[in-house]
Amino acid sequence: MSAADRYIPTELGTLRVRVTGTGPAMLLWPSLLMDHTLWDAQVAHFSARFTTIAVDPPGHGASTPLDRPFTFEQCAQGVGRILDTLEIERAHIVGNSWGAMIGATFCALYPERVLTAVLMNGTASPAGVRQRLEYGALLVLARILGGFRGPLTRSALDAFLGPTTMRTRPEAVEHVRKTVRANDIRSVRHAVRSVVPQRPDQRQLLARISTPTLIIGGSEDSTFPPAEVEEMARAVPGAELSIMAGAAHLLAVEVPDAVNTLIDDFLGRHRPSR
């Protein structure tokens, strides 16, 4: 299946998106420190039936580096700009962590643009004191070292991947390590600040979501443990919830086949009426 890269101007810079396949649109937004390749297995699986749009989010991958923080509303506007540029009226929204939060924001603010939502490893809650301190220290050390090197890469792996993946999925570990180390700390520090210490409490906003929504967590996710994912699911009216055993914060690359099966089942039960 052929793929084409598009470079789309938004308020948060030009975003590179990889468009593959034909059919109903499926937009995929990854986690902090990840790029569109987080979704390689999903693109390979779904692009025979869907137009997959895998995003390099602001400040990541081949998108324009960030020079300031942002709001979740600005990110949601960026999703709308992508769809407008590609002349897509409605899309299935799939997001991981940062992508789950932006997907939820987009669903709440622009319900007429959404077919269904799959929100993975996300939260609706503001960052706690410990998480703010941990990520603040991570940014300081990364700035001193000039990037994610040595022990900082290990810290990111520990935050994103659980013991099962670290022990049994070397290809997933290497994928995450390589992507984390490729980040420009001068750019991604603005994203980290926006998504962690400055993250809003979205629980009231998520109560406005009216589209079919599947929320997925990982049993070994230390960043957003199952209880936090469950709280997010309670905030979304009628949301379905699934906690995947033996995986952590980057389910799409840790257990891609299981994720694809879960999404297939969800989409099969929520076919759009138009």
pLDDT band at 178 (very low <50, low <70, confident <90, very high): very high
3-state secondary structure of 50: coil
Q: Determine the pLDDT at residue 198.
A: 87
- pLDDT (average), residues 209-227: 96
Q: State how far the Cα of 121 lies from the Cα of 15, in Å rounded to an integer.
A: 23
Mean pLDDT, the chain, as a whole number?
A: 92
Look at residues 62, 9, 13, 42 and name the one whose alpha carbon lies nearest to residue 190.
13
Q: Determine the pLDDT at residue 186.
A: 84
For residue 16, pLDDT beyond 60: yes
The full DSSP string for 54-118 is EE--TTSTTSPPPSS---HHHHHHHHHHHHHHTT-S-EEEEEETHHHHHHHHHHHH-GGGEEEEE
pTM comes to 0.93
| Cα 146–chain centre separation | 25
DSSP 8-state class, residue 125:
S
Look at residues 127, 138, 101, 100 and name the one whose alpha carbon lies nearest to residue 197.
127
Tokens of 157: 């792996």
Q: State how far the Cα of 245 lies from the Cα of 254, in Å rounded to an integer.
A: 11
Q: Determine the pLDDT at residue 151.
A: 57
Domain range annotation of the chain: 3-269
CATH 3.40.50.1820 holds for 3-269:
yes
pLDDT band at 87 (very low <50, low <70, confident <90, very high): very high
pLDDT band at 246 (very low <50, low <70, confident <90, very high): very high
Backbone angles phi, psi at 52, to 5 degrees: -85, 140
Q: Determine the pLDDT at residue 75.
A: 98
For residue 274, pLDDT beyond 60: no
3-state secondary structure of 248: coil
For residue 93, pLDDT beyond 90: yes
Strand partners, 256: none
Pick the more confident residue, 272 or 42. Answer: 42
pLDDT band at 156 (very low <50, low <70, confident <90, very high): confident
For residue 134, pLDDT beyond 70: no
Tokens of 25: 């649109």
Q: State how far the Cα of 257 lies from the Cα of 224, in Å rounded to an integer.
A: 22
Tokens of 257: 């086949």
pLDDT band at 1 (very low <50, low <70, confident <90, very high): low
pLDDT band at 99 (very low <50, low <70, confident <90, very high): very high
